[in-house]
């Protein structure tokens, strides 16, 4: 079971979404999802991640929900009681660290949002969290989770194959 964040989910839902600055990001995500589907590994989308996507979805909201509901390997993970308890522990630790280290880059709201995602990941027993957000990955790792970025994903062999296109006037006719 893996957890994905909003950057990754958007690559799954919207073929026109801006791609993060990672070479072959979309191909990497599609390959991962195909591999997970073949192995019947569950992909979790934390409810706060879904909310973040839907805020900006506009007219695509129902299409996004249909894609998620139509994929048996994708499950929306709720922010339930177990996750809330886990989140409280994580936020307390984060706020305590802030008091002692000062100068943290993240806003208090982002810390809470990220900790909800991490708490859901921990409370569901996920193997790892996939995110292109370095701060979210750091929070996950601090909480004892394995965290990967898009650059850590395998590039499918087909995507690595370079295509060579020659125009007729560029071919040496000797």
| Model confidence pLDDT, tens digit, residues 7-38 | 999 999 998 888 888 999 999 999 999 999 99
Q: Is 3 helix (H, G, I), strand (E, B) or coil?
A: strand
| Model confidence pLDDT, tens digit, residues 37-60 | 999 999 999 999 999 999 999 999
Rounded CA gap, 125 and 82, in Å?
11
Rounded CA gap, 124 and 126, in Å?
6
| Model confidence pLDDT, tens digit, residues 77-89 | 999 999 999 999 9
Q: Cβ of 148: how many Cβ atoms within 10 Å? A: 18
Q: For residues 87-116, b (16+ Cβ closer than 10 Å) or e, as one string?
A: beebbeebeeeeeeeeeeebeeeebbbbbb
DSSP letter, residue 170: G
Task: Please report the domains of the chain, with CATH numbers, ordered by start residue.
Answer: 2-77+125-158 (3.40.50)
């Amino acid at each position: 079971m893996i957890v994905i964040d909003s950057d990754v989910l958007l690559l799954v839902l919207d073929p026109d979404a801006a791609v993060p600055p990672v070479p072959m990001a979309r191909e990497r995500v599609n390959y991962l999802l195909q591999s997970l589907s073949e192995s019947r590994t569950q992909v979790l989308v934390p409810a706060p991640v879904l909310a973040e996507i839907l805020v900006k979805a506009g007219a695509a909201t129902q299409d996004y929900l249909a894609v998620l509901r139509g994929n048996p390997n994708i499950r929306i993970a709720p922010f339930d009681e177990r996750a809330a308890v886990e989140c409280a522990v994580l936020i307390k630790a984060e706020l305590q660290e802030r008091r002692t280290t000062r100068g943290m880059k993240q806003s208090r709201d982002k810390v809470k949002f990220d900790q909800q995602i991490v708490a859901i990941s921990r409370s569901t027993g996920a193997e790892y969290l996939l995110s292109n957000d370095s701060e979210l990955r750091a929070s996950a790792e601090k909480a004892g989770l394995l965290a990967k970025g898009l650059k850590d994903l395998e590039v499918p062999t087909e995507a690595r194959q370079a295509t060579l296109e020659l125009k007729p006037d560029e071919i040496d006719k000797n």
